[in-house]
Structure 1
Amino acid sequence: MRARPTALLVDLDGVLRRWDPEVPARVEAAYGLPAGALEKTAMEWSRLLPAITGQVSHAGWMAGVAEALDAPEAVAEWQRYRGDVDPDVLAFVREARAAGVPAAIATNATDLLDADLAALGLTGEVDAVVSSSVVGAHKPTREFFAAACQALGRAPSQVLLVDDSDRFVRGARVAGLSAYRWNGPADLPYLRAALDLR
């Protein structure tokens, strides 16, 4: 049997931060772009990878998206929206920390992460922030998860990752962590029990 986890890693995008799909849809409609074009263009791996491993700035990444779509105004308007905090997840993180379980954000992110966390009111809400752009390696690599465990001061076997990506959950398990695929707030009772939060 695995030991009960004593530290928590929480994914940012899709878990702690939610994105309203209506925002890019409205921008695309307003500027005559195909539906889904903004995210599809931004998430092309050859464009995304340098941005989330610290080789290209967030601004440089978005400049490439704007150039590819020939739509700098649309990209600028889309980027003004920085998502919304899931209050249920934030409450869970606070509960874990209050019970003595250290918690960290573990995310594939650009150099805009600190500004985003400040804008979302998340600065100081976790014990550590593990960003791929700082680590220089992205989820789900072993290097990323090793850095995340080090930031928490725990062995991988003591850490629970909560993430909405099946691939990242599998990668964490390969790296020796416990990992849970996030489906929504209905998962929180199970996660509280996994961390022995009473």
Structure 2
Amino acid sequence: MRPKALALLVDLDGTLRRWDPEVIHGIEAAHDLKPGSLYGTAMDWSRLMPAIIGEITHDEWADLIAADLADQTGDPDRARAAVKEWENYRGSVEPGLLALIRDARGAGIKVGLATNATDLLDTDLRTLGLSDEFDAVINSSVLHIPKPAPEYFGAACIALKTPPNRVLLIDDSARFVYGARAAGLSAHRWTGPSDLPYIRAALGL
């Protein structure tokens, strides 16, 4: 039986931060883009990877997205406007999980943010009111290593000054959950607020 977790790692996108697909669809519709084209273009791994390991900036990534959409639509101005509007939407915070994070820290459990992100992360955290909610922020673009690499999780445990077998990761990606377990951490796949009682019990809250 694993020992009780002394530290918690929480993913950002799809876990602590929620994205409303209707907002994205609305932006696409307003700019006459095909449904799913914004997300599909932005999340293309060959385009996304350089941004989340710090080889290019967020702005450079956005320029690549706009250029690709311009090729698809034949209208560079429309593509740039759509990307700008998409960038202005920063999502919202899952309140129940934020409350759990605060309770965990209040109980002496260290909490880290573990995310594949661009150099816009610090600005996003300020926008979302999350700048002071973590004991450590592990950003792949600063580390130059993405989840689920073992080195990423090793760096996260070092940042929390906690051995892997005493760290619990919460993440909505099955691949990242498996990667964390392979690195010796406990990990739970986030499916929504219904997971909160289980996580609280696992942390003894």
TM interval, shorter chain, is over 0.9
* Matches of 1:39 and 1:3, distance apart in 2: 40
Task: Tell me the SS of whatever aligns to 1:151.
Answer: helix
Pick one of 83, 87, 97 that aligns with 2:105.
97
* Matches of 2:192 and 2:22, distance apart in 1: 19
* Matches of 1:171 and 1:122, distance apart in 2: 26
Pick one of 129, 136, 147 that aligns with 1:121.
129
Counterpart for residue 94 of structure 2: 86
User: 5 Å matches for 1:20-99?
Assistant: 20-70=20-70, 71-99=79-107
Counterpart for residue 14 of structure 1: 14
Q: TM-score, normalised on structure 1? A: 0.98
Counterpart for residue 154 of structure 1: 162
Write the deviation string for residues 133-180 of structure 1: whole angstroms up to 9, x where unpaired.
011100100011011101100111010000000000000000000000
1:111 aligns with 2:116: no
Identity among equivalent pairs (%): 59
Task: Tell me the SS of whatever aligns to 1:179.
Answer: strand
Task: Tell me the SS of whatever aligns to 1:180.
Answer: strand
Equivalent pairs, count: 197
Structure 1 position 186, deviation (Å): 1.1
* Matches of 2:87 and 2:184, distance apart in 1: 36
Instruction: Give RMSD over aligned pairs.
Output: 0.6
Structure 1 position 48, deviation (Å): 0.4
Question: Which structure 2 segments of 5+ residues have no match?
Answer: 71-78
Q: TM-score, normalised on structure 2? A: 0.95
4+ runs deviating over 2 angstroms: none
